[in-house]
Amino acid sequence: MATKQPTTPIPESEVEITAVRAQGAGGQNVNKVSSAIHLRFDIRNSSLREDHKERLLALADQRITRDGVLIIKAQTQRSQDMNRAEAMGRLQEIVDSVAEPPRPRRPTKPTLASKRRRLEAKNLRSQVKVLRGRISE
For residue 24, being part of any structural domain is answered with yes
Query: How far apart (Å, rounded) are the C-alpha atoms in residues 71 and 75?
Result: 13
pLDDT, tens only, 67-109: 889 999 988 888 888 999 999 999 999 888 888 888 899 999 9
Residue type, 86: E
CATH number assigned to the domain comprising residue 42: 3.30.160.20
Domain count, the chain: 1
| 6 pLDDT more than 60 | no
> In three state form, how does the secondary structure of 28-92 look?
HHHHHCCCEEEEEEECCCCCCCHHHHHHHHHCCCCCECCCCEEEEEECCCCCHHHHHHHHHHHHH
**Stronger pLDDT, 28 or 103, i.e. the higher one:** 103
Residue 124 has what pLDDT? Answer: 97
Residue-range definition of the domain harbouring residue 17: 12-97
| Residue 110 exposure: Cα atoms within 13 Å on the Cβ side | 8
**Stronger pLDDT, 113 or 97, i.e. the higher one:** 113
For residue 5, being part of any structural domain is answered with no
pLDDT, tens only, 9-26: 888 888 888 888 877 766
